[in-house]
Amino acid sequence: MLDKNGQKFIKDQVEEAVGQIIQATNKGFEGVDKRFDKVEVRLEKVEGRLDKVEVRLEKVEGGLSFVRDSVNNLKSDTPTAKEFQNHERRITSLEKVAFA
């Protein structure tokens, strides 16, 4: 068996080891906390960029609706094939009158 000095020595060594483990664990968590802080800053930057992208997307969607409306207007104004044939006949008759 160990005498009192031996027991005290072992107790002190165990306490020192436990203290070192706790300190190392705390330092490790401090590093993790710093990394989380950096990640949070990056996420905030990404969120800011996403807000800008959403605004640009809204502008693009507005532009697309204008283009869509313009295309629909052109489609409604475009004569059908039959209307176009009749238009050619009218131009021919106008040319005859104009150049006669």
User: What distance lies between CA 95 and its chain's CA centroid?
Assistant: 61
Please, how many CA atoms are within 13 Å of residue 62, restricted to the half-sphere of its CB? 6
At position 68, the amino acid (one-letter code) is R
pLDDT at 25: 84
Q: Could you tell me where the beta strands, DSSP code E, fall in the chain? A: none
**From CA 18, how far away is CA 38, in angstroms rounded?**
30
Top-confidence residue, 78 or 73: 73
Contact between 38 and 46 (Cβ < 8 Å): no
Is the pTM for the entire model greater than 0.85? Answer: no
User: Residue 35 corresponds to which tokens in the numbers above?
Assistant: 């990394």
Domain regions of the chain by residue span: 25-99
Query: Which residue would you say has higher pLDDT here, 31 or 53?
Result: 53
pLDDT at position 77 is 79
